[in-house]
Amino acid sequence: MTEGVAAVSGLGVAVSMVDAVAGFSGPGFVVVPLCGPGPHTHGGVGCGSPGKRPLFSGWQRRREPLSRAEIEEQWGAGAHGP
| For the chain, percent of residues with pLDDT exceeding 70 | 78
pTM for the complete prediction? 0.66
CB 72 within 8 A of CB 66: no
What average pLDDT does range 48-75 have in this prediction?
89
Range 25-28, long-range pairs (CB < 8 A, 24+ positions): 25/65, 25/66, 25/71, 26/65, 28/65
pLDDT at position 82 over 80:
no
pLDDT at 63: 92
What average pLDDT does range 46-58 have in this prediction?
88
pLDDT at 4: 57
What are the residue ranges spanned by the domains of the chain? 5-75
pLDDT at position 13 over 80:
no
